[in-house]
């Protein structure tokens, strides 16, 4: 029996021909990157890619753009009836009590999908005594795809990560701390076709290596979705220089908002150097002091590139659920220090005019 994997995608085939071809090529390239030893071929029709050879299902699950996939076996239409019975033997259908046959067709045939499903169902019933047909909640389902004279049989549909192929929308830089929020934000933008270049700000002496080590652990998990996900560590002295000046001026409560504006500016410079189209952050409205609507407005003024906040309307429970689903949660909650420069009462309703005045007076803009 010839075994292969059938990969399904959805939104790609709805695009215009040039876009569809480009996105499909990106999906195939991404599959080859994580599964270099498998052979990939596309179908002339839309919605199917076939893999043969060494396929790791766990890696395939994490390729953006793939909605689902199945390990399947191939036969010709001429041999379908006898082959179906051999396939049922292989999957031990006799251990089930109920079954169903689902047929899909592409091409011109002298039978309908329902007729072929009924025909195959009768053959199975005649060979495997004691089985019953249950089209609503069968214990075993035999799926048959007939594409002209080619037939593919499988009994399992494995869910993929979905989304659109990584890279088709270009690159973004991400402010990446390794906590719960920033990895989820980066992942959500990956799912929408953006390659992510993560930036980690080393703000020592206000943090220690435990934060960087945590960020690296989380980044290694996200490499399963984007193999070249490498943290760029930025050693930055801005906070160290600004902290005492702000304290002396009696405006220490502006520490976080000024520090974050500085990070935006640095991220913008890196984005422009790397050809990225914007900045992604893990900010969620109202979650911490710097993420109020007033403060986000002030932050946006710090750079000219778009700032993408995919978590803006999420609450913490929703963010944690996604983190658990994508595998970053446990690494993100590893013991790590937090920024010791955070003031007791950070400003929550910063005014842009005031912030610009502070930056001008303290000559803090780089």
Cα–Cα distance, 114 to 111 (Å, whole number)? 8
pLDDT of residue 366: 40
Cα separations (Å) of 266 from 23, 187, 209, 305, 312? 32, 22, 21, 12, 22
- In CATH, which superfamily holds the domain spanning 170-362? HUPs (3.40.50.620)
The whole-angstrom separation of Cα 180 and Cα 324 is 10
CB within 8 Å of 176: residues ≥ 6 apart: 182, 183, 186, 198, 199, 200, 215, 219, 231
The answer to whether the beta carbons of residues 11 and 164 sit under 8 Å apart is: yes
Quick check: helix, strand or coil at residue 331? helix
What distance in Å separates the CA atoms of residue 53 and residue 95, rounded to the nearest whole number?
29
Task: Return the beta strands (E) in 245-330 as ranges.
Answer: 279-280, 307-308
**What is the pLDDT at residue 183?**
98
Instruction: Classify 76 as helix, strand or coil.
Output: strand
Return all residues near 57 (Cβ < 8 A) that are at least 6 apart.
5, 69, 71, 158
Q: Which two tokens stand for residue 322?
A: 């996604």
Q: Which three-class secondary structure state does DSSP give residue 109?
A: coil
Strand partners, 164: 192
Residue 365 is predicted with a pLDDT of 44
* CATH of the domain spanning 2-159, picked from 2.120.10.30, 3.30.2130.30, 2.40.50.140, 2.60.40.10: 3.30.2130.30
- Quick: pLDDT tens for 246-273: 888 889 999 999 999 999 999 999 999 9
For the chain, the structural domain boundaries read: 2-159, 170-362
User: Which residues are bridge partners to 200 per DSSP?
Assistant: 233
Whether this model's pTM surpasses 0.85: yes
Q: Which residues of the chain have pLDDT under 50?
A: 364-366
């Amino acid at each position: 029996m010839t075994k292969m994997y059938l990969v399904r995608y959805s939104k790609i085939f709805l695009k215009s021909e040039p876009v569809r071809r480009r996105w499909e090529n990106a999906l195939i390239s991404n599959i080859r990157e994580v599964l270099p030893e498998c052979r990939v071929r596309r179908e002339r029709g839309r919605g199917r890619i076939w893999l043969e050879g060494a396929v790791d299902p766990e890696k395939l699950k994490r390729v953006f753009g793939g909605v689902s996939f199945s390990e399947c076996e191939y036969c010709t239409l001429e041999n379908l009836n006898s082959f179906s019975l051999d396939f049922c033997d292989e999957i031990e259908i006799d251990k089930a009590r109920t079954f169903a046959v689902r047929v899909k067709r592409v091409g011109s045939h002298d039978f309908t999908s329902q007729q072929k499903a009924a025909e195959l169902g009768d053959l199975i019933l005649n060979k495997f005594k004691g089985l019953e047909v249950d089209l609503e909640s069968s214990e075993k389902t035999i799926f048959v795809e007939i594409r002209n004279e080619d037939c593919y049989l499988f009994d399992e549909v494995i869910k993929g990560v979905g989304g659109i192929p990584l890279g088709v929308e270009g690159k973004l830089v991400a402010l990446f701390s390794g906590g719960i929020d920033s990895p989820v934000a980066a992942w959500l933008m990956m799912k929408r076709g953006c390659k992510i270049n993560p930036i980690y700000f080393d703000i020592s002496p206000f943090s220690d290596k435990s934060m960087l080590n945590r960020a690296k652990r989380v980044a290694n998990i996200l490499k399963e979705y984007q193999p070249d996900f490498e943290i760029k560590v930025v050693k930055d002295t801005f906070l160290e220089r600004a902290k005492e000046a702000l304290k002396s001026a009696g405006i220490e409560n502006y520490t976080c908002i000024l520090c974050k504006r500085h990070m935006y500016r640095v991220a913008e410079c890196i984005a422009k150097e790397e050809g990225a189209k914007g900045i992604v952050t893990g900010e969620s409205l109202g979650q911490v002091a710097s993420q109020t609507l007033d403060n986000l407005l002030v932050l946006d003024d710090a750079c000219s590139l778009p700032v993408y906040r995919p978590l803006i309307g999420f609450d913490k429970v929703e963010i944690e659920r996604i983190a658990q689903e994508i595998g970053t949660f446990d690494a993100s909650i590893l013991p790590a220090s937090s920024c010791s420069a955070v003031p007791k009462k950070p400003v929550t309703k910063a005014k842009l005019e005031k912030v610009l005045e502070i930056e001008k007076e303290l000559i803090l803009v780089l």
